[in-house]
Amino acid sequence: MRKKIHQIFWNIQGKELNEFPLFERSIKSIKEKNPDAEHILWSKEGCQNVIEKRLPEHLYFYNNLKYDIQRLDFIRAVILYCEGGIYVDLDLICLKNIDKLFEHKFFIHSHRHIKPKSNEYVCNDLMGSEKGFRFWKILMDESKENYAEKEKIKVYQNWKARFVLQTTGPRFVGRILKKVLPEYKPPYLVYMDTENAIQKEWKFKTKIKNKNVYYFQDYKAGTWLPNLKNND
């Protein structure tokens, strides 16, 4: 796997990067812990350019997705397929060097060690692969039919966050993973502290004894949620 670390920032809340201290801390932690890796922060324009030039067959679908968060989900697969490397959400803080993750042809993690009954089989906030890995092509191809199917279901007009999760988010990614790579066992690479505000909503307590085995700490910022008005 090429030693590239990809992150994406769009000001979908009308705010600039320097208005999100957590995001700046994420970037800093990655660069400090991985000085010999190439770090790429993708802008909205950069994302648009890569799909226009490298995968134009998906451009119409991408441009006509309902929410920006869906485009952000989809473009991760595009970037990993076209560039290779590791994608990291901006609310993940890097705890140590991630060279060992670059040794994998493909990986995507799970947080079921933290929340065993989670509806998400995998999380799409940290994942990586070699360039041209076939899983991403299948994921992109199947996104279109799945999206058209889910768009017709009336319940998703009110459950907008669930619509995102089921069309481009981790629940969709998990279904495709089970279909394409049924023997794959998602590793545990990330932990969360009980101090994180979102965990109060999750109603569980972390039972992690050795934090040193993890590569990232997840702060679950959820900055995309306010953009879905009347969200459940």
Instruction: Answer whether 0.75 is exceeded by the pTM.
Output: yes
The pairing of beta strand 4-8 with beta strand 85-88: parallel
| Burial (0-12, 13-18, 19+ Cβ within 10 Å), 19 | exposed
Coil, strand or helix at 144: helix
pLDDT by residue (tens digit) across 151-177? Answer: 999 888 778 889 999 999 999 999 999
Phi, psi angles (nearest 5°) of residue 75: -70, -20
Average pLDDT per consecutive 10 residues, the chain (232 residues; last block may be shorter): 94 88 97 98 98 98 96 98 98 96 97 78 96 98 96 86 93 96 95 57 54 88 58 39
What residues are paired with 210 via a beta bridge?
none
pLDDT by residue (tens digit) across 7-30? Answer: 999 988 788 999 999 999 999 999
* Residues whose CB is less than 8 angstroms from the CB of residue 135 and which lie 6 or more positions away in sequence, other chains included: 106, 129, 176, 177, 180, 181
